[in-house]
């Protein structure tokens, strides 16, 4: 479950802030790739500060659990996430910086620290922090080795390890998939969108995550606060044991 929670924090970050809304020409016809990427990137950058509170439902073959989540982001600097259970309190707290990942396990009184290469065991990316911020800021999120096709009126951008399904009217990413060389996979579906202070956020996100076993996860956002400075508390207690 710990691996799932660490990866889940990354998923939360992917979905935190999508784009500020601009009116663009819809197209269910074939475009050239540069035109499509330009339309996707017409949306303006994300807020400098983001705070989101919501609920996470996780289902696997052996368990079902509902968690509360609190996510804070300072653009291009730090991503902070806390996951808790009602009454019991915080289960874990994680931080991602430009070069490191930190994780506190409250239940086991332990902590974990690694660089970004840790997550490459699952899904390859030069920098997860940069990837997250590219998605949040609506800048180009695609590598050079990508392909494009039109399928059932939807724009599909894909590579050997990833796929994006683009809405032909809003040019938002409706679906995002990753497949690793180990056949681990992650699929994210954005369900409905809500306009918050001029920015578009999904109301609900459904995820399918396959590692050693399969997890079905849903995220629902209850409260979103934008452009308000946040505090990021992350203190490792002296009695916590460091995990490899």
Residue 190 has a pLDDT of: 81
CA distances from 88 to 2, 83, 84 (A): 17, 11, 7
**CA dist., res. 179 & res. 187, Å (int):** 9
Say which CATH class 2-235 falls into. mainly beta
Helix residue ranges, H only, 68-160? 128-137
Residue 122 has a pLDDT of: 59
Residue 22 has a pLDDT of: 43
First-to-final CA distance of the chain: 16
Query: Among 215, 217, 167, which residue's Cα sits nearest to residue 192?
Result: 167
**CA dist., res. 133 & res. 102, Å (int):** 18
Residue 111 has a pLDDT of: 93
Q: In this structure, are strands 19-20 and 185-196 parallel, antiparallel, or unpaired?
A: unpaired
Residue 240 has a pLDDT of: 95
**CA dist., res. 56 & res. 213, Å (int):** 18
pTM over 0.85: no
Residue 228 has a pLDDT of: 93
Q: Are 92 and 106 in contact (CB under 8 A)?
A: yes
Residue 205: count other Cβ atoms within 10 Å of its Cβ. 23
Residue 138 has a pLDDT of: 39
Q: Are 45 and 132 in contact (CB under 8 A)?
A: no
Q: Are 153 and 165 in contact (CB under 8 A)?
A: no
Residue 238 has a pLDDT of: 93
Tens place of pLDDT per residue across the chain (244 aa): 555 555 555 555 545 544 444 434 455 667 778 777 777 766 555 788 888 898 989 888 888 889 998 989 888 788 898 999 988 999 999 888 877 888 899 999 999 888 766 666 655 555 555 555 544 443 445 655 778 888 888 888 888 777 888 888 878 778 888 777 667 777 888 887 777 787 777 778 888 888 777 889 888 888 888 899 999 999 999 999 998 7
- The domain limits of the chain are 2-235
Q: What are residue 131's phi and psi, to 5 degrees?
A: -60, -45
DSSP single-letter state for residue 46:
P
Q: Are 213 and 61 in contact (CB under 8 A)?
A: yes
Residue 109 has a pLDDT of: 95
CA angle 114, 77, 170 (to 5 degrees): 110
Q: Which two tokens stand for residue 43?
A: 């949306």
């Amino acid at each position: 479950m710990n691996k799932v929670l660490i990866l889940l924090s990354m998923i939360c970050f992917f979905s935190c802030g999508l784009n500020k809304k601009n009116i663009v020409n819809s197209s269910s016809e074939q475009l050239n790739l540069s035109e499509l990427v330009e339309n996707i990137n017409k949306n303006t950058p994300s807020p400098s500060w983001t705070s989101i509170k919501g609920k996470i439902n996780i289902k696997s073959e052996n368990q079902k659990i509902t968690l509360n989540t609190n996510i804070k982001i300072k653009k291009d600097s730090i991503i902070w996430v806390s996951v808790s259970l009602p009454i019991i309190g915080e289960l874990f707290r994680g931080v991602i910086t430009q070069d490191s990942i930190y994780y506190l396990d409250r239940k086991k009184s332990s902590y974990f620290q690694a660089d970004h290469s840790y997550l490459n065991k699952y899904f390859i990316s030069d920098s997860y922090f940069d990837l997250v911020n590219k998605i949040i800021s609506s800048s180009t999120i695609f590598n050079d080795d990508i392909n494009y096709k039109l399928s059932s009126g939807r724009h599909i951008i894909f590579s050997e390890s990833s796929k994006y399904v683009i809405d032909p009217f809003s040019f938002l990413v409706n679906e995002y998939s990753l497949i690793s060389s180990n056949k681990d996979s992650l699929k994210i579906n954005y369900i409905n969108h809500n306009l918050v202070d001029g920015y578009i956020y999904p109301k609900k996100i459904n995820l399918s995550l396959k590692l050693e076993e399969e997890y079905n996860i849903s995220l629902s956002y209850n409260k979103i606060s934008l452009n308000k400075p946040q505090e990021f508390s992350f203190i490792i207690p002296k009695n916590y044991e460091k995990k490899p």
